[in-house]
Amino acid sequence: MKEMRLNNGVMMPSVGFGVYQIAKSETKQAVLQALEVGYRMIDTAASYFNEREVGEAIRESGLPRESVFVTSKLWVQDYEYDDALRAFDRSLSELGLDYIDLYLLHKPYGNYYAAWRALERLHREGRIRAIGVTSFSNERLQDLFLHNAVNQIETHPFQQQQDANAFLKAEGIVHEAWSPFAEGQKGVFVNPVLKDIAAAHGKSVAAVILRWLNQRGVVVIPKSVREDRIRENFNIFDFRLTDAE
């Protein structure tokens, strides 16, 4: 598995498994399948309401804790300093873990300065290995440079984030994509350009999109509850897109 080195030296898998909008009743089985396939990063959040099931799957997998990179996120209602600390404790308890590998501010709203200070404290205490944000613009991100390791932003063929990608690379911050398939909108899976590229490599359109992102240095966290697609989304390292593609 290819990994990305965060600016604090922590190594992060370049392909992970997302559980956004996966029902609680399906989360544990989906995560178990993902871990069996070979995924070693799981991305959840307090607002997904399935942290407990993610933790159960990790424990039932039998994998050593240190071999699974776990991401969770702080929701905006808990952005005051003390609220952030309490919310982190709830997430840790739901997950049933001693620490979280990557903890993100979920949106750039409210008192994210106070929330960021809380995350810095948790990082100093060793309860979080790396901290970052999701959906922050470059301008807002500049306020939080000192220890910021990751910005998770919507990135897909119709919203390529070229400027943001260049900015993050220049600042040593990892670009992570959410909604890599544009939530299935704009005919992404039947787009003629993507279909031609996929046919040339004997791959699916989904695999081509994930490979395109990864070759740009973008971490991806696709989600699915179907085992065949979980496998398909993971097996993207046996081909390479040309510069033209």
Name 47's bridge partners: none
Residue whose token pair is 């498994």: 17
Instruction: Kindly tell me the burial class for residue 130, based on how many C-beta atoms sit within 10 Å of its own C-beta (0-12, 13-18, 19 or more).
Output: buried
C-alpha 118/C-alpha 38 separation (Å) is 33
DSSP 143: G
C-alpha 157/C-alpha 166 separation (Å) is 16
C-alpha 70/C-alpha 43 separation (Å) is 6
- Orientation angle between helical segments 24-37 and 227-234, nearest 10 degrees: 40
Rounded to 5°, the CA angle 163-224-51 comes to 90
Catalytic, 20? Answer no
Catalytic residue, chosen from 20, 39, 48, 103, is 48
Q: CA dist 82 to 30, 72, 110, 124, 171, Å?
A: 34, 18, 14, 16, 30
Q: Which string of DSSP letters, residue by residue, matches 4-45?
A: EE-TTS-EEESB-EE-TT--HHHHHHHHHHHHHHT--EEE--
Catalytic residues, which ones?
48
